[in-house]
Amino acid sequence: MRAVVTREPGRLDFVDDAVAEEVRPGWIAVDIRHVGICGTDYHITEGKHPFLEYPRIMGHELSGVTASAGIDMAPGTPVIVNPYISCGSCIACRRGKPNCCTRIAVLGVHTDGGLRERIVVPEGNLYPAGDLSLRDAAMVEFLAIGAHAVRRAEAEPGARALVIGIGPIGLGAAIFAKIAGLDVTLLDTSVERLGFAREALGFERSVIAGPAAAGEIAHMTEGDGFDVVFDATGNARSIEAGFSFVAHGGSYVLVSVVRDEIRFSDPEFHKREMRLIASRNATRVDFEHVMAAIRAGQVPTDRLATHRATLEEAPERIKSWAHEKSGLIKAIIDL
Ligand SMILES: [Zn+2]
Ligand SMILES: [Zn+2]
């Protein structure tokens, strides 16, 4: 079986003799068709991931076709893979929050993922793709993380939202905030990215990160700040700065996770009666919301999928994409 194995940081190998897993009861074999590559994969490639054992087969943004039968699923069914394997019995799972399972295993991170011809996953982690193209199906997972963050915010339509950091996850949050009827402004360091978001996705209002940003935000919100602020920067200093952009009575949703501690002023936090919300991964509801939005033409997936390569090309291309600053939004491997 063909696969791409990350032996150690900087060393990705294409192999054609990887051993296929056994199909166990309740699990289904899936022939992988497309794999989206994201920041997590670049971190693994470069050895920047905090907890990861090598060798590892990466790949957690997956679409494919079932190759064995399940209880409700026939072979040959086009599917989206939810890469978050949960235990089903911990406190989070019992509360219907498998996305923050205490024993979560993420495909391609904690356990081998889908950069290979075939993977075996629990039937409950497969969602029928229906008439969605399998290329689009491989883009559902990263968009679902943004959709989940928006759902966590519980904001009313018309609320003013600021999305800080517009990599793929931030763009996903912005797209689903707009779909939820929020009035979205973007903040990023990259003028090029903000230009792309305006031209390709229709986000007219943006702020360039820097010393003038706070003044500009105060001006554009009549001094109030934003009802909801989403952080997708992966940068601790940026997360700290974002507290001051939240309106009194507003919410701050932390989508990206950093290894550092973050600090904030309790009086500033308290006087706002601010809600501070973590958003982790996504659940089936979010995946289904994203699928419906793509079907409804609300997500310009053709503009987001900027780069592609074959599995054979993947080792070299992933290493170079990890450094690519310009024009790369979402790269997809085609099997
Ligand atoms: Zn990802
Ligand atoms: Zn659990």
pLDDT single digits (tens) 242-288: 999 999 999 999 999 988 899 999 999 999 999 999 999 999 999 99
Question: Who's near 302: CB < 8 A, 6+ residues apart?
Answer: none
pLDDT at 259: 85
- What is the Rg, in whole angstroms, of the alpha carbon atoms belonging to the chain? 20
pLDDT at 326: 80
Mean pLDDT of 180-202: 97
Confidence of residue 50 (pLDDT cuts 50, 70, 90): confident
Cα–Cα distance, 191 to 158 (Å, whole number):
26
Nearest-ligand number for the alpha carbon of 89:
2
Distance 45 CA to ligand 1 centre (A): 13
The per-residue pLDDT for range 284-332, each reduced to its tens digit, is: 999 999 999 999 999 999 999 999 999 999 999 999 999 987 889 999 9
Do the Cβ atoms of 198 and 220 come closer than 8 Å?
Answer: no
Distance 167 CA to ligand 2 centre (A): 29
Question: Who's near 26: CB < 8 A, 6+ residues apart?
Answer: 70, 71, 122, 123
Distance 177 CA to ligand 2 centre (A): 28
The residue type found at 285 is V
Distance 268 CA to ligand 2 centre (A): 35
Question: Who's near 204: CB < 8 A, 6+ residues apart?
Answer: 198
pLDDT at 291: 98
pLDDT at 49: 81
The rounded mean pLDDT for the chain is: 96
Do the Cβ atoms of 119 and 107 come closer than 8 Å?
Answer: yes
Distance 81 CA to ligand 1 centre (A): 12
Distance 90 CA to ligand 1 centre (A): 24
Distance 100 CA to ligand 2 centre (A): 7
- For the chain, the domains span 3-138+300-334, 146-278
Over pLDDT 70: what percentage of the chain?
A: 100
Nearest-ligand number for the alpha carbon of 332:
1
Distance 61 CA to ligand 1 centre (A): 6
Q: Is the pLDDT of residue 74 over 80?
A: yes
Which CATH number applies to 146-278?
3.40.50.720
E strand or H helix at 193: helix 191-201
Of 183 and 48, which is predicted with more confidence? 183
Q: Which two tokens stand for residue 225?
A: 């700040």
Nearest-ligand number for the alpha carbon of 144:
1
3-138+300-334 and 146-278: identical CATH topology: no
Domain made up of 3-138+300-334: CATH architecture: Alpha-Beta Complex (3.90)
pLDDT at 147: 98
Distance 60 CA to ligand 1 centre (A): 6
pLDDT at 287: 98
Give the torsion sign (CA, 185, 188, 190, 196): negative
Q: State the CB neighbour count (10 A cutoff) for residue 19.
A: 7
Distance 212 CA to ligand 1 centre (A): 32
Long-range contacts (CB closer than 8 Å, 24 or more residues apart) made by 323-330:
326/192, 327/192, 329/168, 329/171, 329/196, 329/303, 329/304, 329/305, 330/36, 330/37, 330/38, 330/139, 330/142, 330/168, 330/304, 330/305, 330/306
Q: Is the pLDDT of residue 83 over 80?
A: yes
DSSP E strand boundaries for the chain: 3-8, 11-15, 27-37, 61-66, 78-81, 84-85, 105-106, 118-122, 126-128, 160-164, 183-188, 206-208, 226-231, 246-254, 275-278, 305-310, 330-334
Cα–Cα distance, 5 to 13 (Å, whole number):
5
Distance 105 CA to ligand 2 centre (A): 10
Q: State the CB neighbour count (10 A cutoff) for residue 196.
A: 19
Nearest-ligand number for the alpha carbon of 37:
1
Mean pLDDT of 108-124: 97
CA distances from 39 to 36, 92, 167, 319, 330 (A): 10, 26, 9, 12, 10
Mean pLDDT of 96-124: 97
E strand or H helix at 304: helix 301-304
pLDDT at 300: 97
